[in-house]
Amino acid sequence: MLDLTVKVININFPENHPILERCRPLYEYSWFIQRIKDCQKAGRNRDEAIVQAIKDCLEAGMMADFWRNMDRRR
C-alpha cells in the first residue's frame, strides 16, 4: 500500500504563479492554452482555435523546440 500527498499547482494564465515566472516552458504552455481558450471565446471551433494558437506561438517564438520536433514526426 502506498499513501501519497500531491500538491496541485494552478498554472492557468495569467495567474502570475511564481512557477510560471521561473519555468519558461510552463509559462509558454500556459500561454498556448490560454490562447486556445481566447480563440474559442471569439467564436472559433476547437480545431480552428488550436491551429490559430499554434500560429500565434510560432509568431511569438513560443514552444519553438516542441513545434520543431512535431514537424519532424510528420
Residue 3 lies in a domain: no
Alpha-carbon distance of 27 to 63, in angstroms, equals: 10
Helix (H, G, I), strand (E, B) or coil at 30: helix
Alpha-carbon distance of 23 to 3, in angstroms, equals: 29
Residue 8 lies in a domain: no
Q: What angle separates helix 46-60 from helix 64-73, to the nearest 10 degrees?
A: 120
Is the pTM here over 0.85, yes or no? no
Least confident of 14-23, 33-42, 59-68: 14-23
Residue 31 lies in a domain: yes
How many domains would you assign to the chain?
A: 1
Residue 63 lies in a domain: yes
Task: Write the pLDDT tens digit of every residue in 15-31.
Answer: 678 888 899 999 999 99
Residue 10 lies in a domain: no
> Average model confidence (pLDDT) for the chain?
90
Residue 12 lies in a domain: no
Tell me what percent of the residues of the chain surpass a pLDDT of 70.
93
> Does residue 71 register a pLDDT over 70?
no
Alpha-carbon distance of 52 to 54, in angstroms, equals: 5
